[in-house]
């Protein structure tokens, strides 16, 4: 049994969960403890007690701890990547890439600890000087989704610790394995007991208790828009600091002058890799009419060449859907979209493989209408639709016709349209001739409209959320 980490001790759960491999449901990955609401409160108390001790360690001690974590993650990338591929279902190269990213994030924030941000200024009054410093917020509650089981926890935990906060971390119930492995590494990094706590368990129990506790000063959440709204309703009245990254319905515009081969690569990678289970996945291909037929035909040809299979099979280019509930939801979404009148040009079918798993072929709908559910809501799977556009202006208008605004892309050789799109598209991230999914870890990540709430994650911008600013005046 893999236990929770509370106040520096490995603690049994009040229940347990068996973690299964979506590529082969006969493959049991392990048994993981489930924390209760009481366990959560004990962990929050431990974090509150530990935070000032951790914050008072020297910068070098804190930097060394994060450096240790990053180095160990990188040195075990194949092992941890294999675990991640087994529990979440992304193919091994993608899973190893995610682990590497997690290691790099810890190293980046180890470096940030040694570059503290602050300012020393003269006052507007004579004889007075001003210092502006960033201080820790306190106890941070971290709630993660299942689709990036190690990278998303890393990009929240690393900055939280770097800036001197203590952490209570709840991974998604579906993927406790990678979270537990990460916690085990952190537990050996020399942090004072209670600085970092792992609470595996249900969102409605562990997550809810974290969100309700007045001792949790800030909550960093990534997940669905519905859960985000629920968290906002509970935490905002008690004035908790909130950062929420939620869903997307990301447009990729393809103009007549685009390099067709590049555009097809950008579209297929962005929409279907990682089984389309990325908040930044392209789900709406918005295509200028002069290239519409050629582009949709070429995408279908490319999809023919993809191999859906076991995440650890080197032949596979797309792994399974992460679990039964998501798999069944995807198939229901496909059926409903057909009923709405979009034409399913490719895939969208359940597949049988040697092992029992949640395999489906990538789906492409053509001639979709902007008002259809597929063009408005987030379908969290390997499903995309093609929408024709009359010209660039129409394509831009269609791209912005969404309640979400996470990532957007354009494929064009026109500097004029690329520049205009970067300026006018309503999204937190915008890509020119590169997929909507796949971002760097040293620059800010986040969206606009219904996709994000609060300040940005990652890079130096993470300091905005994980610190509070103090302005000190001194008469001399």
Tell me if 222 contacts ligand NAP by CB under 6 A.
yes
Characterize 176-203 residue by residue with b for buried, 16 or more Cβ atoms within 10 angstroms of its Cβ, and e for exposed. bbbbbbbbebbbebebbbbbbbbbbbbb
Cβ 309 to ligand NAP shortest distance, Å? 23
H or E, element range at 142: strand 139-143
Query: Binding residue for ligand NAP (CB under 6 A) from 153, 223, 319, 362?
Result: 223
Cβ 356 to ligand NAP shortest distance, Å? 22
Range in contact with ligand NAP (rule: CB under 6 A) among 30-38, 63-71, 166-174, 466-474: 166-174
CA-based radius of gyration for the chain: 23
Query: Binding residue for ligand NAP (CB under 6 A) from 112, 173, 265, 333?
Result: 173
Rounded-to-integer distance, Cα 21 and Cα 320, Å: 10
Hunting for tokens 């379908």 — which residue is that? 379
- Which phi and psi angles does 446 have, rounded to 5°? 160, 175
Active site residue 385: no
Tell me if 380 contacts ligand NAP by CB under 6 A.
yes
- Site for ligand NAP, residues 236 to 265, rule: CB under 6 A: 245-248
Angstrom CA distances, 410 to 267, 452, 473, stand at: 10, 21, 49
Range in contact with ligand NAP (rule: CB under 6 A) among 1-9, 128-136, 198-206, 266-274: 198-206
Tell me if 73 contacts ligand NAP by CB under 6 A.
no
Hunting for tokens 């609401």 — which residue is that? 37
Which lies closer to ligand NAP via its Cβ, residue 22 or residue 192?
22
- Which phi and psi angles does 233 have, rounded to 5°? -60, -35
Rounded-to-integer distance, Cα 316 and Cα 308, Å: 6
Task: Number of residues interacting with ligand NAP: please give it, by CB under 6 A.
Answer: 31
Q: Token digits for 268? A: 């297929």
Query: Would strands 359-360 and 350-351 be described as parallel, antiparallel, or unpaired?
Result: antiparallel
Tell me if 211 contacts ligand NAP by CB under 6 A.
yes
Rounded-to-integer distance, Cα 5 and Cα 17, Å: 16
Beta carbons within 10 angstroms of residue 419's beta carbon: 11
Active site residue 457: no
Hunting for tokens 């979009």 — which residue is that? 342
Which lies closer to ligand NAP via its Cβ, residue 247 or residue 409?
247
Tell me if 20 contacts ligand NAP by CB under 6 A.
no
Q: Choosing from 245, 288, 378, 457, which is the catalytic residue?
A: 245
Cβ 53 to ligand NAP shortest distance, Å? 27
H or E, element range at 20: strand 15-21
Cβ 327 to ligand NAP shortest distance, Å? 13
Interaction pattern, residues 291-330, with ligand NAP; x per rule: CB under 6 A: ----------------------------------------
Is residue 436 within 8 Å of residue 421, measured between CB atoms? Answer: no
Cβ 380 to ligand NAP shortest distance, Å? 5
Query: Binding residue for ligand NAP (CB under 6 A) from 63, 143, 268, 395?
Result: 143
Q: Token digits for 237? A: 């009245």
Rounded-to-integer distance, Cα 105 and Cα 455, Å: 18
Contacts with ligand NAP, residue ranges (CB under 6 A): 143-148, 170, 172-174, 202-204, 207-208, 211, 222-224, 227, 230-231, 245-248, 279, 378, 380, 406, 451
Active site residues: 245, 279
């Amino acid at each position: 049994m893999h236990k929770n980490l509370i106040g520096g001790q490995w603690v049994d759960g009040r229940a347990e969960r068996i973690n299964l491999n979506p590529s082969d449901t006969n493959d049991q990955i392990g048994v993981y403890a489930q924390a209760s609401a009481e366990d959560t409160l004990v962990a929050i108390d431990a974090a509150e007690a530990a935070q000032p001790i951790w914050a008072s360690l020297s910068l070098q001690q804190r930097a060394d701890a994060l450096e240790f974590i990053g180095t160990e993650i990188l040195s075990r990338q194949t092992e941890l990547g294999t675990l991640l591929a087994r529990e979440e279902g992304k193919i091994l190269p993608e899973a190893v890439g995610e682990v590497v990213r997690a290691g790099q994030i810890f190293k980046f924030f180890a470096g940030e600890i040694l570059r503290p941000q602050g300012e020393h200024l003269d006052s507007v009054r004579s004889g007075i000087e001003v210092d502006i410093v960033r201080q820790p917020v306190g106890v941070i509650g971290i709630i993660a989704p299942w689709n990036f089981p190690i990278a998303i926890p890393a990009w929240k935990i690393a900055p939280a610790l770097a800036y001197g906060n203590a952490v209570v971390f709840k991974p998604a119930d579906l993927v406790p394995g990678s979270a537990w492995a990460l916690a085990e590494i952190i537990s050996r990094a020399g942090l004072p007991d209670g600085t970092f706590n792992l609470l595996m368990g249900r969102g409605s129990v562990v997550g809810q208790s974290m969100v309700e506790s007045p001792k949790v000063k800030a909550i960093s959440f990534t997940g669905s828009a519905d859960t985000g709204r629920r968290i906002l309703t509970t935490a905002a009245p008690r004035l908790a600091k909130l950062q929420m990254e939620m869903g997307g319905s990301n447009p990729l515009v393809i103009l007549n002058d685009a390099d067709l081969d590049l555009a097809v690569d950008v579209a297929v990678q962005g929409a279907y890799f990682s089984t389309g289970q990325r908040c930044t996945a392209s789900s709406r291909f918005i295509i200028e009419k002069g290239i519409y037929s050629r582009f949709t035909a070429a995408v279908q040809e490319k999809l023919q060449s993809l191999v859906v299979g076991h995440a650890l099979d080197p032949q596979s280019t797309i792994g399974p859907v992460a679990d039964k509930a998501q798999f069944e939801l995807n198939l229901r979404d496909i059926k409903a979209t057909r009923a709405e009148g979009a034409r399913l040009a490719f895939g969208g079918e359940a597949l049988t493989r040697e092992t029992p798993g949640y395999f489906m072929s990538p789906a492409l709908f053509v001639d979709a209408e902007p008002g259809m559910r597929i063009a408005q809501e987030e379908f969290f799977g390997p499903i995309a639709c093609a929408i024709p556009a009359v010209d660039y202006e129409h394509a831009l208008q269609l791209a912005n016709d969404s309640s979400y605004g996470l990532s957007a892309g354009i494929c064009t050789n026109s500097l004029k349209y690329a520049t205009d799109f970067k300026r006018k598209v309503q999204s937190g991230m915008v890509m020119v001739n590169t997929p909507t999914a796949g971002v760097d870890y040293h620059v800010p990540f986040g969206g606009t409209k219904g996709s994000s709430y609060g300040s940005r994650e990652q890079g130096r911008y993470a300091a905005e959320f994980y610190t509070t600013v103090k302005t000190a005046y001194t008469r001399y």
